Chain A
């Protein structure tokens, strides 16, 4: 079965720096990969979706890469702000075609941006 690995250790960075979070998966390559933000005690909020034929996607200060050879996605936040502090979740569809809407999630990486 598919396993998703995100760095469980919190990432602490200084305001203004670029945060880079990693998502690795172990089995099949999915049709797409998604990133969500989750604040404490709240549901996840969709950020970005990148498809298997896309190498990079950007949205404002966010950038996601998808390397199907390495089975890895990187999530970057440039010019980070304290308001970016949250847990970021990587999610893959299951089955890999993504036509059911079912997602499996990584455990998330908590980002702390210090002023």
Chain B
């Protein structure tokens, strides 16, 4: 099946610094990628939709200047948490849709990034 690689798997940073998370589709081209955030024992919450070659679409309540998304190629999307604060500590997960799957029905998820902001 399709593989989505997410890096790093965990990161610890100081408050005020920025952290970049990469999401790569390894064996397929992804025109659309999604970024989710998950707090302990809670559901995945969709943060934004990343489209190759265009601006990301953010969900209501998600600050676009805080969570910068770049989808520069069909295989790579990045999420940068700018000026991170302890409340940004969470599990961030990306997912991608195989462009062959024209209806975008099945998503392939990365392994997630655990961000801890001190």
Contacts and interface: CB of A to CB of B under 8 A. Distances in A.
Interface string B1-24: 000101000000000000000000
Contacts of B94: 43
B103 A41 contact: no
A43 B97 contact: no
Nearest to A6: B43
Interface stretch (B69-77, B82-90, B108-116): B108-116
14 contacts: A36-B109, A43-B4, A43-B110, A43-B111, A44-B93, A44-B95, A46-B109, A98-B105, A101-B32, A101-B49, A101-B104, A101-B105, A105-B43, A107-B41
- How many residues of A sit at the interface, in one of the four size bands? 20 to 34
Contacts of B64: none
Contacts of A41: 91, 112, 114
Contacts of A105: 43-44
A99 interface: yes
Interface of A: 4, 32, 34, 36, 41-46, 49, 89, 93, 98-108
B46 interface: yes
A99 B108 contact: no
B66 interface: no
A81 B6 CA distance: 29
B109 to A, nearest CB: 3
B44 A44 contact: yes
B69 to A, nearest CB: 15
B43 A98 contact: no
B43 A43 contact: no
B107 A103 contact: yes
B67 interface: no
B106 interface: yes
